[in-house]
Structure 1
Amino acid sequence: MIRWIFLNILLISATFTQGQDTIIKPPPKPYHGYLVYLAVIDGDTMPFIPLRTITIIPPRVFKNERERRQYTRLIRNLKKVLPYAKIAKTKLLVINQQLEKMPDKRAQKKYLKEQEKLLKKQYGPELTNLTISQGRLLIKL
């Protein structure tokens, strides 16, 4: 009798077991492409892709070679100086906000001297390598 119970339990438990899945499913393919809007024109469904508007500027015309060299020199200097001008703008805004919070002139002068020392330490070596024309351009910006 115990053998029959043991055999029945073994057979019943065998029906609930699951085997290993031998077929490995490949990962789903990534979706290549993009979604587009649809527009219905005269009963036809057409893809509608909005494009950004761009302005096309004609090439600059120079009167002579000297004017072209001056322009390219200005652009070269501007590319070198513009990052410093942006940094100076943000630093100046922060310093002005701090100065407005300070109660007296003495604390303001002390704060300005500290900031000037920090800026000279951080940007001094880089700014001393600028040419005179680059320095003038930096001041204008």
Structure 2
Amino acid sequence: MHPLTPDSAAPAAPPSRPYVQMLERVRYDGAYPTREKAEEVTTAVLTALGRRLTGEERVGLAARLPVEAARLFVSSAPEADRLTGWAFVKDLASRTGGTLATTRWDVGSVLGAVAQLAGPELLDRILAQLPSGYAILFGRPELTQAA
């Protein structure tokens, strides 16, 4: 074997402090028993959210997330279909095999942390881009105009 050819995968770099803090926030908010469970949920939700956002909001959010979270977020190309918040939860549940209730909980736990990292101005722009039903997932009331 060549001396520069690894015989096994290189060990993963330890997660950055901001990412660990994000995972601990998700773990606390979601009442998950381990950081590994919080990371599993975070991975699923950020990947799914990455399929929904485009343009400046996608770039802006990726820049505010910890590097590891940003990689997850941009790992999937945006999809053309515009899912409402509830359809987003149902789609994620079908992809992960979770129940609607636990998936809704997972989404809220992760997107609450994302909202804090995004800040109010960027979050306003993100919510303006997404169809109805996402505000509540990010921990905000869903404001609708009277007819």
Q: Where on the TM-score scale, by shorter chain, does this alignment land: which range?
A: under 0.3
The structure showing larger relative contact order (alpha-carbon pairs under 8 Å, at least 6 residues apart) is 2
User: Highest CA radius of gyration, 1 or 2?
Assistant: 1
Going by fraction, where is strand more abundant, 1 or 2? 1
| TM, length-normalised to structure 1 | 0.27
| TM, length-normalised to structure 2 | 0.26
